[in-house]
Structure 1
Amino acid sequence: MGRYTIRRLLQLIPVLLGTTFLINYMVWQLPGDPFAGRCGQRPCPDAYVNAMRAQFGLDQPVLVQYWNFLKNMLTGNLGVDFNQVPVATSLADAWPITIRLAILAVAIEAVIGIGAGVLSGLKRGGVIDNAVTLSTLVLLSLPVFVTGFLLQWLLGVQLQIVNPTVSDEATVSELLVPAFVLASLNMAFTARLTRTSIVENLRADYVRTAIAKGLTNRRVVGVHLLRNSLIPVLTFLGTEVGGLMAGAIITEGIFNIHGIGGLLYRAIINQDFTIVVPVAALLVLVYLITNLLVDLLYGVLDPRIRYE
């Protein structure tokens, strides 16, 4: 597995370089001048626009711009945004909050989604199966912002169990409800995917063999059935980590969370691409690392998988 891991890490390098180059090129080549409208209702003087383009290297060739971007990313010197605020400072303040939110959301997805899917698959056609099917249909039919506003109003305003908004500290207890909202849609997908995989593997030969050997139901389900059924679920959860971090804009807006989602939204509205590009590059890195971890976990879940 060591050689496989090294080979996969080497394969990540051209993928990371290619995707970050495309992001850097496409974002800065969007129509319109990001500096032209920064002087209120009056058009900005040409001297100001030219000075800003020179400061952020937009007067240089594309390859030179990308090379400077790579050097800045590797050294941690991301420069300043259009308001002369250090980009690294903005990311350092927002990134840990979104990471906590995304990790909580994935944990809720995995625990509730997999648990409900396993119970539904084992009790197929029963009360639990029907309840899980109904609840997942409700979650799938509700947009995230509807679920967010509903829980905020019910738990925060009416019942006063939680605070309607999250403080600047963004503690784990404050992020539980926003994390549930962020995970609600994918949690329903996880439950249905787990149920389908459980039902399919219940008819497999290795399960019938394990039962014929006289193994307990707990061992049959926990050791044989669950490990093989979790492979497609693990793939789905692994690809969702980066998606949850990028898709937290709505959830962070509802609960007033000062994370990457709000920072990215404001940067896009203001065409401040000095923030958009590094955030997008970091999300690409998160996707690549989580996919590598998922591939390595395949061998743990399924002994038949060997990395040569």
Structure 2
Amino acid sequence: MNPKFTPEMVERFREAFHLDEPLYVQYLYFYRDLFSGKTISWKDNLPVLEKIWERFLNSLWLFVVGTILTWTISFPVGIRSAIFRGGFYDRSSTFFSYLLISIPSFFFAYILIIFVVNQFHIPVIGMETFGIGGTAWST
């Protein structure tokens, strides 16, 4: 615990965050406060739900694009593998599928970032254009 905290401050934190309650009750209080908008970020005093929603929209966009790319590649490969069952194409596509599935996603993402930066000299820094800020369609 921070030595600068006075006993009164510690008691206020206990009351504010229901730390004297059982863990499952604290959990329920947490979600009640989160979804009612009472939980405020200590960093910038904005409601936490707004910050989560902002990041959720970015994640949703990445999920949709990733799903479309996955389906665009996997359905034709799967159909062709089913047509030529047991052949070279089927075995090699199965091998590469297992290979790609077994690579941890965080490691594969890191390798892709390094590849894109080195091959195409594209800075990978987020959802905005480098040096320009927000675009007209994102405001």
Distance in 1, matches of 2:15 and 2:97, equals 53
Is residue 86 from structure 1 mapped to residue 86 from structure 2 by the alignment? no
The counterpart of 2:79, out of the listed 118, 133, 150, is: 118
Q: What is the correspondence of 1:17-32 to structure 2 with a 5 Å cutoff? A: none
- What residue in structure 2 maps to residue 217 of structure 1? none
Query: Kindly tell me: are residues 78 and 102 of structure 1, through their superposed partners in 2, closer, same or farther at Cα, counting changes over 3 Å?
Result: farther
Task: Indicate the RMSD between aligned Cα atoms, in angstroms.
Answer: 3.1
| 1:161-187 CA distance string (max 9 Å, x none) | 6x34242438xxxxxxxxxxxxxxxxx
Query: Kindly tell me: are residues 67 and 115 of structure 1, through their superposed partners in 2, closer, same or farther at Cα, counting changes over 3 Å?
Result: same
How far apart are residue 128 of structure 1 and its match?
2.4
Query: Kindly tell me: are residues 143 and 68 of structure 1, through their superposed partners in 2, closer, same or farther at Cα, counting changes over 3 Å?
Result: closer
- What residue in structure 2 maps to residue 138 of structure 1? 99
| 1:191-249 CA distance string (max 9 Å, x none) | xxxxxxxxxxxxxxxxxxxxxxxxxxxxxxxxxxxxxxxxxxxxxxxxxxxxxxxxxxx
How far apart are residue 86 of structure 1 and its match?
2.1
How many residues align structurally? 127
| 1:111-153 CA distance string (max 9 Å, x none) | 3223321211111133421331232132134222332222222
Report the AA paired with residue 39 of structure 2. G
Distance in 2, matches of 1:140 and 1:107, equals 17
Report the AA paired with residue 123 of structure 1. F
Report the AA paired with residue 100 of structure 1. W
For normalisation by structure 1, the TM-score amounts to 0.35
Does the Cα contact within 8 Å between 2:17 and 2:26 map onto a contact in 1?
no
Q: Which has the higher contact order (CA 8 A, sep 6+)?
A: 1
Distance in 1, matches of 2:83 and 2:15, equals 64
Distance in 2, matches of 1:142 and 1:109, equals 16
For normalisation by structure 2, the TM-score amounts to 0.67
Query: Kindly tell me: are residues 155 and 63 of structure 1, through their superposed partners in 2, closer, same or farther at Cα, counting changes over 3 Å?
Result: closer
Is residue 56 from structure 1 mapped to residue 17 from structure 2 by the alignment? yes
Does the Cα contact within 8 Å between 2:39 and 2:48 map onto a contact in 1?
yes
Q: Which runs of 5+ in 2 are unaligned?
A: 130-139
Overall identity of the aligned pairs, in %? 19
Is residue 167 from structure 1 mapped to residue 126 from structure 2 by the alignment? yes
Distance in 2, matches of 1:90 and 1:137, equals 37
More helix by share: 1
How far apart are residue 65 of structure 1 and its match?
6.9
Does the Cα contact within 8 Å between 1:53 and 1:59 map onto a contact in 2?
yes
Distance in 2, matches of 1:133 and 1:72, equals 44
Query: Kindly tell me: are residues 120 and 101 of structure 1, through their superposed partners in 2, closer, same or farther at Cα, counting changes over 3 Å?
Result: same
